[in-house]
Amino acid sequence: FPQSSGVNRAIKAIDKHSVHQICSGQVVLTLSTAVKELVENSIDAGATNVDVRLKECGTELVEVSDNGKGVEEANFEGLTLKHHTSKLKDFSDLIRVETFGFRGEALSSLCALSVVTCHESSQVGTKLVFDHKGHLVQQSPHPRQQGTTVSLQQLFYTLPVRHKEFQRNIKKEYAKMIHVLQSYCVVSTGVRITCSNQNGQGKRSTVLSTSGSQSMRDNIGAIFGPKQLQSLLPFQQVSPAEHVIEEYGLKDADLPQELFYMTGFVSRGDHGVGRSATDRQFFFINNRPCDPLKVTKLVNEVYHMYNRHQYPFVALNIAVAYECVDVNVTPDKRQIFLQEEKLLLAILKTSLINMYEDGVNKISLNYTPIHRTSKHRHLACISVYKMFMLKSASEICPAVPSNENVPEPAEDMEPVSRSSKSSLNLAGLKAAFSSHHSSNSGNKSSVAKVANSEEQTEPRTPNEDRAVSPDAKRARTEKPRCPAEHMSNTVDAPVCLQKRTVLLQFSLQELAGKVKRLQDLQKQRADDDLRYRRFRAKINPGENQSAEEELKKEISKDMFKEMEIIGQFNLGFIITKLNCDIFMIDQHASDEKYNFEMLQQHTVLQGQKLIIPQKLHLTAVSENVLLENIEIFRKNGFEFLVNEDAQVMERVKLVSLPTSKNWTFGPADIEELIFMLSDSPGVMCRPSRVRQMFASRACRKSVMIGTALSVGEMKKLLIHMGEINHPWNCPHGRPTMRHLANLDIISQD
């Protein structure tokens, strides 16, 4: 509506400059988007060498240089104009778009910028300068070999709010940009991609670099180091299993063949080779980096079946016909619509399970040659074996009565196995068996179903069909009748009803008075609840979270010193009173939490020098995180030898490790610290094993249950609770205090 604050205003067209600023802000939202768009342009131009150079992590300068085809002089004017592109002519071209970019929005959104380019047909390069509207304002000769260099200075400075937020969160923006750039490094085979950053007047440091290999595996090794390669499995695609097809509601007969072809690598399922987060998961559709949410969720769910505490490294490319993909969904092109997505998920799930089962859940059975006359005995062995497997999987398949006979196959049936040795897949066996079992079929034997499933793998002859008694067939198909069916005639008998009219006494005034009294009563109860029932959670392990939230809300740190000591209960709990509320405090848990936080804040771990400096093979990104937070590593007992002139992934060597009595630490703790500091740079933190060590020390030096305390000692524990950051539970998760009762409520009762 064209009205605001009671003043009529005419509807007018927004001026073109404002339109450009508004629309530009919707295309390029972050540093990672800006770098992505420029790198995509370089790869689309056929570049085999792409160099990304940053100053101050991108706040001062973003420059992308390549050796692609360059820009022809005829295209200079339209290079940064809105919706000008060389990659498609009309909407129908979107069906088979094969380039990263296609909208003609990116360069327009990134203005103002400068471009130095030299087309493959030119002898000398040209420098182009564009204004904020995308218009070419300066053109001059400039020495350059074939290719293009695009420079952006002061990104987002024309958008004041975004520019301020961008500078404030530059570390996080920078980390996201590196992750996006890593995805292009992984998938862009045959393209050498480098990224470097310069802070202040310091030396320019390489952040990541690939060698231009034709192998995705080599690219992964160049970015994440040889250690990551040791934990990877090549993805092996197989056809979807029948039970997975049923799970996704697909019909086998209607499924298209060879629609998807997947290649890539995933982590092994062994514990310790995965990641603590999903920070190294890269998905591609036709080599385009994307965020397929359902695919990502499925990969992690399957991995957690084998390694429940970690996440896999994933680099997976899904090749599919271009007409089956819609990439024009979001401005950053990261969300993609796919035809036959359920089929893709079914193939992916079956393939992953098959890969992981190949190495872990395989059971080998040695068979002797089976003759036709011994088929009964062999089937009985298989049935007993599957009953054993069913028993071991009783949580999945509930036991059922087994008082019926196993159907016996004909003597002249073919043997089940001709080989002397075969393998049975444990997870597949469980899934196959449980799919034949119904929890409602209590009158059928699970053994009979196993035998039947074995028999159905071979065709029956007409004579065999005639040999089955009709009574047996009817017994299998008929269901027992419900006793209620015999009562249906009685229940449905018609009833004759007699109606009569009765006058009711009604007063609208009396009804209004009752409603008002009810509202007053409800308001009074609400006021009483607000006044007295601040603590509702019960002392129950299932309500620990609710109780902790209530305490955080109602109790501030300075309230602990105001609490009145009532006494000690059972030589383990301090009973206190604050106004009308009574609390119970665990003397050991509260003292343990105080000692733990003091150790966390003030302990500087002593390091043990190594005889020979140890190479860490950190990625360039991890090296930079370590160097920027090296003081935090020193407080944790780690010392490093830094060589700024060394090549990437070899600039940092470990020379000292923290040790403490029986506790030893190593490179895994360094990687955990790097991951934590990537999210919270500059914030003091400890590896999980250091926290475990501190928790163990804090426990041993704290007041024990069974120790009698004086009033002064109990008061000291309360004051300590007001001095720590998280006083509500101990390092091991036990609650430190709980609300017992409110004296006002007790007196009313």
Structure tokens at 147: 């290719």
Residues 609-649: tens digit of each pLDDT: 999 999 888 887 888 889 889 999 988 889 999 887 777 77
Structure tokens at 463: 């004579």
Written as one letter, the residue type at 227 is K
Question: DSSP strand E in 96-146: where?
Answer: 113-118, 125-130, 136-142
- In angstroms, the CA 526 to CA 518 distance is 12
Q: Let me know: does 188 contact 177? Beta carbons within 8 Å.
A: no
Give the pLDDT of residue 383.
47
- In angstroms, the CA 186 to CA 313 distance is 12
What are the DSSP calls for 298-340, one per residue?
Answer: HHHHHHHTT-TT-B--EEEEEEE-GGGEE--SSTTS---EETT
CA neighbor of 459 nearest in space, from 424, 412, 423, 420: 412
First-to-last alpha carbon distance for the chain, in angstroms, is 58
Low-confidence ranges of the chain (pLDDT < 70): 1-28, 81-112, 253, 327-333, 359-497, 525-534, 536-538, 747-749
Name residues whose C-beta falls within 8 Å of residue 67's C-beta, 6 or more positions apart in sequence: 47, 48, 49, 145, 146, 147
Q: Strand order of the sheet with strand 573-578?
A: 564-569, 573-578, 581-586, 737-742
- In angstroms, the CA 267 to CA 315 distance is 9
Is the preceding peptide bond at 112 cis, omega within 30 degrees of 0?
Answer: yes
Name residues whose C-beta falls within 8 Å of residue 300's C-beta, 6 or more positions apart in sequence: 278, 311, 312
- In angstroms, the CA 409 to CA 429 distance is 22
- In angstroms, the CA 421 to CA 379 distance is 16
Give the pLDDT of residue 655.
93
Give the pLDDT of residue 495.
59
What are the DSSP calls for 337-365, one per residue?
Answer: EETTHHHHHHHHHHHHHHHHHHHSSEEEE
Give the pLDDT of residue 264.
96
Q: Let me know: does 286 contact 274? Beta carbons within 8 Å.
A: no
Give the pLDDT of residue 106.
45
